[in-house]
Amino acid sequence: MTVRAPAGPTDVGRRRRLARLGGPTGIVSGIAIDHRDSLRVTLTERGVGSLTDAQLRDLKLGLARGLAPAATTIMIDAEFGGQALAAGVVPATVAIVMPLEAQGYEDEGDDRVTSLLPDLSPADALRWGADACKLLVPYRADLATADHQDAVIVATVEACHDVGLPLVVEPVVFRLAGESVSDFAAAYEALVLEAVGRIAPLGADLLKLPFPVRDLVEAGEPAATAACAAMAAACHGTPWVLLGAGADTDIFVEQIRIAGRAGASGFLAGRGIWGPALSADLDAVERAASGSALDAFRRCREMAERYARPLPGSRAR
């Protein structure tokens, strides 16, 4: 008979904090507003133009005020989201996840590697009141850079666990400079499964994963269901949630349903929910966040609570 060593206080705290991400049902219904580079890209795409740092802070304040109370978790950065945390618009019942990756993850090129924020460590995130940290990793298992990304993940897992924080890892596969759109689309599912299979054993507490088919309508539900089942198997028991990737709400709620049936523990979504609310008129942003964006988020949460699997350690299990 094997006698397991008792868990230390940081392990106990880490498990409890992970369970907080799912709220009372154990299902993660998370709103992500930790975007920095990608927020500026989205603002440009939507014709809003460039905003000052102060305006970005006010914008995130409005988004958080409108959406955080309906969530179990909010993913928010210190740089532009710290004002929302300081203002107290995130209820104490809502878990906080803070990103550790530096900006630059939207850069083009084949040699994309993750670097960490120089001024926000896991210990700093804990002082902000974070319940978990997040690490976004551009990832191609077929490139030599995958070894570097693996090492970054392992080191970040250790740093987070040392202070009792769980780590959420978000692998994002990307198209190579010389790869056609059609070739990337054909390889997409395999690339996602390879990434998940390599990353899952590295110690992350939760994986934030893309829907494993590029086009749900084109692929069809049976193929998407099989792909989600394969992705769940590649997680090797590590819990996972679905990321939004900017998907339209009608599509995303169906993705949540299919992923939930395959074992996902919910979702963490961002610009697909609040993207249409973006405006240079910050009052309009807050009105939309508490109106149409909130309606979209609630649709996602209802679907997740119907089909998703509770996180390990949650009371709902």
pLDDT at position 284 is 93
Q: Please name every residue paired with 74 in a beta bridge, in sequence order, or none if there are none.
A: 31, 96
Query: How does residue 107 score in pLDDT terms, banded at 50, 70 and 90?
Result: low
| Helices (H), ranges, the chain | 9-20, 37-45, 53-67, 78-86, 122-128, 145-162, 181-199, 216-219, 221-234, 249-262, 271-274, 282-289, 292-307
User: Higher pLDDT residue, 8 or 294?
Assistant: 294
Give residue 29's identity as a one-letter amino acid code.
S
Residue with tokens 């990307």: 174
Instruction: Return mean pLDDT, the chain.
Output: 92
DSSP state of 119: T
pLDDT at 5 over 50: no
Range scoring the smallest mean pLDDT among 9-23, 56-70, 257-271? 9-23
Q: What is the pLDDT of residues 136-181, one digit of tens each?
A: 999 999 999 999 999 999 999 999 999 999 999 999 999 999 999 9
Instruction: Output the six-digit token pair for 156.
Output: 């970040």
The pTM score is: 0.92
For helices 292-307 and 53-67, the axis angle rounded to 10 degrees is 50
Residue 233 contacts by C-beta under 8 Å, 6 or more apart in sequence?
none
Instruction: Output the six-digit token pair for 129.
Output: 């009141």
Domains by residue range for the chain, with CATH: 25-307 (3.20.20.70)
Helix, coil or strand: residue 134: strand
Over its C-alpha atoms, the chain yields an Rg (Å, rounded) of: 18
pLDDT at 9 over 50: yes
